[in-house]
Structure 1
């Protein structure tokens, strides 16, 4: 598999890493995703869509917090990816993050996997 790792480090509260696997990419935010840090996740996601990656997997295993701004980044990314013929999958959500998706109903519009390995099998 083609694999490249790029680290995008921003504010002390959110770090985002990107790994490319052929036509799939794994984006792993670590920390707190909110209105102060949302662009740190939005920018690499938008770039991957522009670069033609068909499947984006957001690895949420290290995401400690997600507010409505973070949720909107992911929802917007899903719409952009689908318009380009791709998809966005979420993997490994912690209970606090999963609760935001459940309360808002956003879990119904994403393909959610328990683990990153499960998401990469799609």
Structure 2
């Protein structure tokens, strides 16, 4: 299964609801959408991973880079809805501390 992205705006934030798998073949699409929103001046971006069943290292790289890009623009990027394998990979790598819940500390 590929990746489908749906963006909504409201309550002072932009939310990207992702569905499918975030991997080498689909991560560029997510990267482009996140960059587009942040460069357009969005101050709060939420990535909803509720319907994502897989995320590999290329997907994690996109999320970390977008997080750093957001911080550089005085914006926030958070992840919500991660469960199962996706939640496990975020926790195992320690990225949950930065991405889930909008932690205030920066990434390396």
TM superposition score normalised by structure 2: 0.88
How far apart are the structure 2 equivalents of 1:34 and 1:42?
A: 11
Match of 2:95 in 1: 106
Unaligned runs of 5+ in 1: 1-11, 114-122
Aligned residues: 102
60, 63, 71: which one pairs with 1:74? 63
Structure 2 residue corresponding to 1:89, chosen from 78, 81, 89: 78
Secondary structure at the counterpart of residue 45 of structure 2: strand
User: How do 1:39-58 residues align onto structure 2 when only pairs under 5 Å count?
Assistant: 39-58=28-47
The alignment's C-alpha RMSD in Å is 1.4
Partner Cα distance (2:12, 2:42) in 1? 5
**Post-superposition, which runs of at least 4 consecutive aligned residues in structure 1 deviate over 2 A?**
none
CA distance in 2, matches of 1:22, 1:109: 22
